[in-house]
Structure 1
């Protein structure tokens, strides 16, 4: 699924999912540099992010996989 990751002074890192009109804060991440691991957003979803350079500028639109038990959404 396509998401937009952005940074704001008030909320910190957040994602926006255009197809679901959903905006949520990132509450936990596997790696400090964000890329190449998973993130957890405020609604409980866990998303796998692609590997990218740690200095990648935001905002950015990327494709991610959503973990949901045994079901994954693309």
Structure 2
């Protein structure tokens, strides 16, 4: 499970960064996107998918663990 960094980009979207792979992509879809439940399956701009354990919406930027699907 890689450690990833999530942050807002200049356009107001979310960026997903995996330091060990030097991968930075925009998030195109997020399974759960409410204040109470945020995360789940994440699809990136390059088509790859990761899973973030659903939790209350975090303040960003945030470092968390993600599972590659």
Same fold (TM over 0.5): yes
Please give the root-mean-square deviation of Cα atoms over the aligned residues, in Å: 1.6
Task: Give the number of equivalent residue pairs.
Answer: 66
Q: Which runs of 5+ in 2 are unaligned?
A: none
Query: Of the two, which has the highest radius of gyration?
Result: 1
Q: Tell me the equivalent position of 2:20.
A: 19
Q: Runs (4+) of structure 1 moved beyond 4 Å?
A: none
TM-score normalized with structure 1 length:
0.78
Equivalent runs, 1:24-43 vs 2, <5 Å = 24-33=25-34, 35-43=38-46
Structure (1 or 2) with the greater strand fraction: 2
